[in-house]
Amino acid sequence: MNFNSLEAIIPIDGRYRGRIGETSRYFSEYALIKERLRVEIEFLIKVIETCSEEIRFKLPHDWKDRLLRIVEDFKLEDAERIKELEKILGHDVKALMNYLRERLHQIGLEPLSSYIHLGLTSDDVNNLAYSLLLSRFRDEVLIPNLIEVIKTVSGKARENLETIMLGRTHGVPAVPTTFGRFLSNYAYRLARIAYELASFKFPGKLGGAIGDHSALKFTYPKVDWIEFSKGFVESLGLEYTPASTQILPHDKISEFLGKISILDAIISNLCRDLWLLSSLGLLVFGRRVGEAHSSTMPHKSNPLHLENAEGACDLASSIASFMARRLISSRLHRDLSDSIIKRFYGLPLTLTIIGFKSLMEAFKRMNVLKDKMRLEVESHPESLAEAYQVYLRAHGVEDAYELVQGALDKGWSEVLKEIKDRGLPDEIVKRLKEVEPTKYVGEAVRIGSMLLDEVEKILRKIGK
């Protein structure tokens, strides 16, 4: 029966499939089966080269090329054959082994069939396959998309380094800053975690039934199986983990998922902040011609892409955080409770990409109302209260905080009057009288510029 996306159980394979279809190359069952096959064949080659010189003489000269072509030529119908075998066997990796045995007989490599999966346990194959898929997804999808997000946020920040904006703490007016300085914080935070993700080394292990290489050591006692395993794992571009049971401990993968959870939380917080500025009328997220943002109110122009990004990232963050915690737990040398969880790696990671793309769309539509931001700052002269009390205390007025606070209760116009009544030198009163809210931004522009310069340096490092 042909699959219709309208029948998908979850929206990732339905509503959002067109936006994130590329991720099926890393998180579909087909992708996992193919990667397992790659690991089995790479291991088979390594074992034959290390342990079975007499077998090699019985093989055609291009035996390695023939093996590697099995992976290159692997199609959906091959995966379907493995699924047919799994229905009979009730074991996915054993089904793969039987399929590979069939293929070896078909391509004239039957002497190798008894060496398939030699001395391995299922997780020796699975852990390597998952780490390879996650590594490729990170390099080919996650980081390139995240870099685009960072460049977009940075670009908007640099455009608005001098755009005056009222800072808010506890949701109420505090002191002036700039919109560019505000965005530069997020750009810097995202760049830092992007570098951590880009430089993260995915783990891998070999070890057999409980991690001690027992069967292989018994069969080939002269081989250093610890060095063999380390070399094999590292040849795949992974970091060797010696502390394994039947499974790879999930500490490192949990560390990666933890970083994803933090990344999503940062982006979600950015979305909420931009949403709040929109609700204050300082940002506008336009609608395209012909779009409807409400089924009943034609005038509505909602920050819907921002809200979509927030929801996607919140969900991704929660799922990734749960997975990171739960995967660390395993009973003694092995139980299967982690297996079903790992099959959902694609859920938080694909939601993350949906969040990225929605945020990018929101930024495309975002219009910064600079005049309104400036007017709001000008309409809050009390935002200078901090400047007044600090300046006065620095000039010997011990109760300056209380003086300014008490005068403010009567209205801003009373503050200077009460300061004058203290009989302070004219130059002090003059300095306070001359300061304007729109000029009271401290080092905002300089800090924002410094942060954005750091972002550029980090992105160059990632590029290398």
- Whether 458 is covered by a domain: the verdict is no
- pLDDT over threshold 90, residue 296: no
Claim to verify: residue 275 and residue 291 sit in the same structural domain: yes
Last residue of a domain, one of 61, 91, 118: 118
User: What is the spatial distance between Cα 224 and Cα 50, in angstroms, rounded to a whole number?
Assistant: 10
When mean pLDDT is compared across 44-58, 117-131, 269-283, the lowest value belongs to: 44-58
Q: How many CB atoms lie within 10 A of CB 269?
A: 15
User: What is the spatial distance between Cα 437 and Cα 416, in angstroms, rounded to a whole number?
Assistant: 15
Claim to verify: residue 143 and residue 19 sit in the same structural domain: no
Q: What is the pLDDT of residue 423?
A: 84
Establish whether 170 is a catalytic residue: yes
Structure confidence by residue, pLDDT tens digits, 417-451: 888 888 888 899 999 999 999 999 999 999 999 99
Tell me the C-alpha to C-alpha distance, in Å, between residue 372 and each of 179, 181, 375, 382: 12, 17, 5, 18
Tell me the C-alpha to C-alpha distance, in Å, between residue 197 and each of 75, 301, 352: 31, 36, 14
User: What is the spatial distance between Cα 51 and Cα 112, in angstroms, rounded to a whole number?
Assistant: 12
In the predicted model, what is the mean pLDDT of residues 114-132? Answer: 95
Last residue of a domain, one of 88, 118, 148: 118
Q: Per-residue DSSP letters for 265-302?
A: HHHHHHHHHHHHHHHTTSEEE---TT--S-SS-TT---
Claim to verify: residue 108 and residue 146 sit in the same structural domain: no
Q: What is the count of structural domains for the chain?
A: 3
Establish whether 294 is a catalytic residue: yes
- pLDDT over threshold 80, residue 20: no
Last residue of a domain, one of 86, 118, 150: 118
Q: What is the pLDDT of residue 294?
A: 62
Q: Output 293 or 159, whichever has higher pLDDT.
A: 159
Claim to verify: residue 83 and residue 215 sit in the same structural domain: no
- Whether 448 is covered by a domain: the verdict is no
Q: What is the pLDDT of residue 103?
A: 97
The two tokens of residue 159 are 């455009």
Strand, helix or coil for residue 14: coil
Structure confidence by residue, pLDDT tens digits, 221-240: 999 999 999 999 999 999 99
Which residue in 61, 170, 295, 413 is the catalytic one?
A: 170
Q: What is the pLDDT of residue 339?
A: 83
Q: What is the pLDDT of residue 285?
A: 87
Q: What is the pLDDT of residue 16?
A: 77
Claim to verify: residue 225 and residue 199 sit in the same structural domain: yes
- Whether 175 is covered by a domain: the verdict is yes
Q: What is the mean pLDDT of the chain?
A: 92
Claim to verify: residue 204 and residue 309 sit in the same structural domain: yes
Domain containing 83 — which CATH number? 1.10.275.10
Claim to verify: residue 347 and residue 403 sit in the same structural domain: no
The two tokens of residue 426 are 């004219």
Claim to verify: residue 388 and residue 409 sit in the same structural domain: yes
Q: Per-residue DSSP letters for 399-446?
A: THHHHHHHHHTT-THHHHHHHHHTT--HHHHHHHHH--GGG--TTHHH
The two tokens of residue 16 are 């959002």
- Whether 176 is covered by a domain: the verdict is yes
User: What is the spatial distance between Cα 272 and Cα 362, in angstroms, rounded to a whole number?
Assistant: 12
- Whether 19 is covered by a domain: the verdict is yes
Q: What is the pLDDT of residue 137?
A: 96
- Whether 411 is covered by a domain: the verdict is yes
Q: What is the pLDDT of residue 382?
A: 93
Strand, helix or coil for residue 240: strand
Please, how many CA atoms are within 13 Å of residue 212, restricted to the half-sphere of its CB?
Answer: 5
Structure confidence by residue, pLDDT tens digits, 173-225: 999 999 999 999 999 999 999 999 999 999 999 998 899 999 999 999 999 99
Q: What is the pLDDT of residue 55?
A: 87
- Strand 239-240 relative to strand 203-204: parallel, antiparallel, unpaired? parallel
Claim to verify: residue 26 and residue 144 sit in the same structural domain: no
Claim to verify: residue 85 and residue 195 sit in the same structural domain: no
Claim to verify: residue 355 and residue 393 sit in the same structural domain: no
Claim to verify: residue 370 and residue 392 sit in the same structural domain: no
- pLDDT over threshold 70, residue 295: no
When mean pLDDT is compared across 83-97, 294-308, 363-377, the lowest value belongs to: 294-308
Which residue in 5, 235, 279, 294 is the catalytic one?
A: 294
Per the structure, the complete domain to which residue 410 belongs is given by 376-439
- Whether 70 is covered by a domain: the verdict is yes
Domain containing 278 — which CATH number? 1.20.200.10
User: What is the spatial distance between Cα 164 and Cα 178, in angstroms, rounded to a whole number?
Assistant: 4
Q: What is the pLDDT of residue 217?
A: 95
- Whether 453 is covered by a domain: the verdict is no
Task: Decide if 35 contacts 373 (C-beta within 8 A).
Answer: no
